[in-house]
Amino acid sequence: MSLKQVYDRLYKHYGPQHWWPGDTPFEVMVGAVLTQNTAWTNVEKAIYNLKLYDALSPHAIVEVPHEQLAQWIRPSGYFNIKARRLRNFCQWYIEQGEYPQLSQWETNELREGLLSVNGVGPETADDIMLYAFARPVFVIDAYTRRIFSRLDYITGDEGYEELREFFEKGLARNRDKVQLFNEYHALIVMHAKDICKMKPSCDDCCLKKVCLYLE
DNA sequence: ACCCAGGGTCATA
DNA sequence: TATGACCATGGG
């Protein structure tokens, strides 16, 4: 079964996911940093606080004292380190001219720029690439590894870039890649949560049963 | 009480 | 290059 066929199956079963939750590209970027190793429900509380104090803007985040920012984003966990990461990112974001300028960057340059920020790794960068800048980049996360290694598409110990290339090449023939990658990653996350919800042991769960489950 | 969540950095060998 | 420690909240 091709990667596209797996996608079709997931899509038929779960339907459109409407990712990324967020009103603006900048909110998506903030969410991408805050959700690092953290449940999304906790991130929502942090973003709610930022909105409440009118601080969901790159300038506000750069200007507010560290202690204050850390308190606002406290529910998302790792609040000290994430306050620093948000500040690092926003400083870079402002320096590069914010969205109007950055949106004109060539895709590879933009990705390298994001990765140059301390606190933004491959997955966070690709979340931002895909969901804030609408670039055709396939996001790899722990769910993707688990699901597709259980389906024997991969071993699971490949490097991040290797996996990204695997998925991007495997889906290269499709037309609207941004839309496809957008839904695909969201569906993977949805599926992982759905299946892991009905397991007791996740050892046996994911894709062989998953595909059967989806039939 | 324990486990994990939409990761990344840094020190060490 | 490859592990391990560390960051910290909230829900199951």
Q: What is the pLDDT of residues A95-132, one digit of tens each?
A: 999 999 999 999 999 999 999 999 999 999 999 999 99
Question: What would the two tokens of residue A204 be?
Answer: 């046996």
Torsion of CA A27, A38, A49, A103, to 10 degrees: -10
Q: What pLDDT sits at residue A211?
A: 52
A80 touches strand C (CB under 7 A): yes
Length A136 CA → B4 C1' (Å): 30
In this complex, the nucleotide whose C1' atom is nearest to the CA atom of residue A20 is B6
Q: Which residues contact A158 (CB under 8 A, 6 or more apart)?
A: A166
Length A191 CA → B4 C1' (Å): 17
Q: What is the mean pLDDT of residues A133-150?
A: 94
pLDDT band at A196 (very low <50, low <70, confident <90, very high): low
In this complex, the nucleotide whose C1' atom is nearest to the CA atom of residue A37 is B7
Length A174 CA → C4 C1' (Å): 41
pLDDT, tens digit, 9 for 90 and up, residues A18-56:
999 999 999 999 999 999 999 999 999 999 999 999 999
Weakest-pLDDT range from A117-121, A189-193, A210-214? A210-214
Q: What pLDDT sits at residue A151?
A: 85
Map out the domains of chain A as residue ranges.
Answer: 3-17+139-214, 25-131
**pLDDT at position A191 over 70:** yes
- In the CATH scheme, what architecture does the domain A25-131 have? Orthogonal Bundle (1.10)
Of A215, A195, A197, A116, the residue nearest A150 (C-alpha): A195
